[in-house]
């Protein structure tokens, strides 16, 4: 019966480690996506600003 608890504990630990690893990868991808979106927004804002200052649409 003790062996079952050891196996169950090891399985639970493995599950937690893999879940945390997966979430960490997902978070870093989201951070990269956010940085990319920020840079795209900066470009759009600069274009809008230059269009407004020259009077073009």
- Dump pLDDT digits (tens) for 29-53: 999 999 999 999 999 999 998 888 8
Sign of the four-CA dihedral 20, 21, 22, 23:
positive
Residue 1 pLDDT grade (very low, low, confident, very high; cuts 50, 70, 90): confident
Q: What is the pLDDT of residue 51?
A: 83
**57 contacts: CB under 8 Å, gap ≥ 6:** 51
Q: What is the pLDDT of residue 11?
A: 97
Q: Please indicate, yes or no, whether the overall pTM of this predicted structure exceeds 0.85.
A: no
Q: Which two tokens stand for residue 22?
A: 């997966």
**Res. 27: pLDDT tops 90:** yes
* Average of per-residue pLDDT values in the chain: 92
- Residue 32, classified by CB atoms within 10 Å of its CB into exposed (0-12), middle (13-18) or buried (19+), is exposed
């Amino acid at each position: 019966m003790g062996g079952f608890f050891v196996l169950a504990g090891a399985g639970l630990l493995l599950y937690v480690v893999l879940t945390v690893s997966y979430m960490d990868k997902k978070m870093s991808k989201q951070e990269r996506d956010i940085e990319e979106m920020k840079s795209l927004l900066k470009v759009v804002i600069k274009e809008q600003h230059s269009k407004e200052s020259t009077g073009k649409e």
